[in-house]
Structure 1
Amino acid sequence: MPLGLVLMVVVFSVLRPTTFGTAANFQSLVTTQAVLVILALGLTVLSASGAFDLSAAAVLGLSAGLVADLTTQHQMGAVPAMVIALGVAALVGLVNALFVVLLDVDSLVTTLGMSTVVTGVALGWVGPTVIGGLPESVTRLGQTDVWGIGLPFFYAVVLAALLAYLLQRTATGRHIYFVGQARTAAQLVGLNVNRIRIGSFLVASVGAGIAGLVLVAQTGAASTSYGAPFLLPAYAAVFLGATVHRGRFGVVGTFLAVYLLAVGTQGLQMLGSPEWVTQVFSGGVLVVAVSVATLSRRSGSR
C-alpha cells in the first residue's frame, strides 16, 4: 500500500502538474483529511478488540453541532463547550458498551441503532440547520497554519503516535489484540476482557468526538448531519490499513490508507471522472480491503 500511494501521487502529479502536483494542493490535502484520520484511528482500536461502531459518524456530527450550538446560541466558552461535547461522546460509547459487552448484543446491530438514536438526539437538541459564526476561540484551533499545513494534521499525527504506542508498545495494546482474536482464550488466562472491550468503545466514541471538534474548528460552522459522509471512508481506511499489518488492524496502516483513498478520489476528480467513478473507487476499495485483510488474517493464523 505505501508503494501504491507513492505511485498514485506520481501518476496524478504527472497528469495534472498544475493542479494536483503542487505544494498548495498537498498542504490542503493533508489538512482536510485530518478529521477522517482521527475518526478512523479510534475505530482502528475498537476493530482490533473485535467490535464495530456504526454510530461513530453520528457522534462526530453531534459533537460538532454541540460545540457550534453552545458557543453561538448560549455564549459558552470554547473549552467548556468542547468538554461537554466529549463527555456526551463518551456517554454514547458507554451505552454502546453496555449493550455489546454486558448484554452480549451484536455490535453491528447495537451501534446501527445507536446511530439513529444519536442523530435524533442531535436534531432535537441542536436542530437541523447549519450553525455558523463560531467565535475565534474555536476557529483558531482549526484554521491556524504551521509551514502551510493546518493544525488539524498535527493533531492527527499526535493522536496516531499515541495510539500506535498503545497498541504496539504496551501490554494493554497486546491484550486488545488478544481479546479481538481469541476472546475466550483471553478470559481463560485471566484478562479482564470486559474492561478492555469497554475501554475500546470509549476510545472509538471519544475519537469520534475529537474528530467533531476538529471539524467544527476547521470549517467554522457545523450541522448534525456533517458526520454521515465520514463513516464509509473511515472503515475503508481501517480495513485497507490492515493489509499493511498482515490482516491485523494497525494505526500506521490506517493513517496511510486515509491518504491513499484521498489521493485516489481527488486525482480521479481532477482528471474529470464522473461522480459515479469516484463512488465505485471508494466502495470497491472497501470490498477489496475487507477481503484482503480477512485472507491475510487466515494466512497468519495458519
Structure 2
Amino acid sequence: MIPTSDAPNAVATDAISPESTATVDRRSVRRSAGGRLVGALRSGSLAVPIGLVGLTVLFSVLRPATFGTTANFQSLLTTQAVLVILAFGLTVLSAAGEFDLSAAAVLGMCAGVVALLTTTHGMNVWLAFAIALALAAAVGLINALFVVGFGVDSLVTTLGMATVVTGVALGTVGPTTIGGLPESVTRFGQTVFFGIGVPFYYAVALLAVLWFVLQRTATGRHIYFVGEAQTAARLVGLNVNRIRVGAFLAASVGAGLAGVVLVAQTGAASTSYGGPYLLPAYAATFLGATVNRGRFGVVGTFLAVYLLTVGTQGLQMLGSPDWVTQVFSGGVLVIAVTVAKLSRRSGSR
C-alpha cells in the first residue's frame, strides 16, 4: 500500500514525547531560576542574607564558646526585638518618602510613662499602655501637622520634635531610672517560650501583618506610590496627605510600642533609653531596602537588624574597642543609603 499523506505527520507527532517536553520545561525553569539568581547577585538583593549567614558562621568559628552557642542566639533574637519593632515603623514611613528623627525620643518617653504610671501611681497596666501609645500617636499627628499641613521639611520638624519630646518626658517622668515594675508589666516582656523571650514573637507577628499590608493590599501599593512619585499619585486621585499622615502615625505608634515592649522586657525605664536606638534603626531600614532593589520592606529590615547585631556583638566578643563598633554601625548606614539609592536606580531602568 502507498502510505497516506498523514503518515509523516504521525511520525513527527510521535517523536515529540511527553518525556522530551518535560525535559525542555525543566531546562527552561533552571535557566530562568539561574537568571533570577544572577540578577539578584548583581543587584545586591542577596547581600543582607548572605552577609548575615556569613558573619554568623565567621564569629561562631572564631568564638565558638561565646558567640556560637544556643544561649547566645536566643539572647540575640530576644534583645533585638525592640529595635526591630522601632525599625518597622520607620520602614513604613520611609516607604512613604518621609523621615522621623523623633522616633527614638518617643520610645524613651513611652517607656518612662509606663514605668511612672504603674509604679508611682499604681495604674492598671492596660491603661498605662494605652496612655503611652496615645501620647505616641499625638506626637505622630503633630509631626504630620507640620510636615503635611504646613509643608515643613520632615527632617527639620522631627529633629525639633525629638528635643521637645525629650524635654517634656524629662519634666514629667524625671531624669532617673524607674525600676521595680510590677509583675503585671514584666510578664509581657520576660515570659520565655522555647528559650526565646516573647518580644521576639511580637516582632514576628508584626512582621507578618506589615508584610501583608505592604505587599498584598491596595494600602501598601498606595504607600509605595506616594513615596516614589507623590505628584503622580495626586494626579491619579490618591489622597496623598491622608497616606502621609497615616505613615507618620505608624512610625510614632511603632516607636511607642517599642517603648512599651522595652519597659516590659527590662523591668525598668528611663526617658534616655531611646537615644541609642535611632542610628541602628535607620541603618537597618536602609540596609534592608537593598533586599528589594531599593524599595523599603519589613522583611529586609528584619534581616538587617540581625545582620547589624551579629556584626556588632561579634566584634565586641573579638575584643574590638568601642570605636570600632561605632565605625561599623555608622559605616553600614552610609553604605546602606548609597546601595539602596543605586539599587532603586537600577530597578527603575
Residue matched to 2:53: 6
The alpha carbon displacement at 1:103 in A equals 0.8
The unaligned stretches of length 5 or more in structure 2 are: 1-47
CA–CA separation in structure 1 for the residues paired with 2:241 and 2:337: 26
Matched, 1:109 2:156: yes
- 1:94 correspondence with 2:130: no
For normalisation by structure 2, the TM-score amounts to 0.86
SS at structure 2 position matched to 1:58: helix
Q: Does 1:23 align with 2:70?
A: yes
Residue from 314, 318, 326 that aligns with 1:279: 326
Please tell me whether residue 196 in structure 1 is matched to residue 267 in structure 2: no
Distance 1:148 1:234 in 2: 25
1:111-142 deviation line (CA, Å, top 9, x unaligned): 00000000000001100000000000000110
Task: Measure, in 1, the Cα distance between the counterparts of 2:166 and 2:322.
Answer: 27
The reply to whether residue 39 of structure 1 matches residue 86 of structure 2 is yes
Counterpart residue number, 1:62? 109
| Percentage identity across paired residues of the two chains | 79
> How big is each residue's C-alpha offset from its partner over 1:238-294, in whole Å with a ceiling of 9 and x where there is no partner?
000000010010110000000000000000000001111100100000000000001
Q: Which residue is 2:34 aligned to?
A: none
- Counterpart amino acid of residue 255 in structure 2: A
For the aligned residues, what is the CA RMSD?
Answer: 0.4
**Can you give the 5+ residue segments of structure 1 that lack an aligned partner in the other structure?**
none
For 1:301 and 1:146, the matched residues in 2 are separated by: 43
Q: Deviations over 1:177-235 (max 9, x none)?
A: 00000000000000000110000000000000000000000000000000000000000
Partner of 2:222: 175
Structure 1 equivalent of residue 6 of structure 2: none
- What's the CA shift for 1:300? 1.6
Q: Does 1:187 align with 2:234?
A: yes
Alignment partners' CA distance in 2, 1:201 and 1:6: 33
1:162 corresponds to which of 209, 218, 237: 209
Q: How does 1:78-157 map to 2 (within 5 A)?
A: 78-157=125-204
TM-score by length of 1: 1.00
CA-to-partner distance for each residue in 1:142-201, whole Å, 9 max, x for gaps?
Answer: 001000000000000001111111100000000000000000000000000011000000
Bigger Cα Rg: 2
Letter in 2 for 1:70: L
Segments of 4+ moved more than 6 angstroms: none
Partners of 1:163 and 1:203 lie apart in 2 by 10
- State how far apart, in whole Å, the 2-side matches of 1:243 and 1:115 are: 28
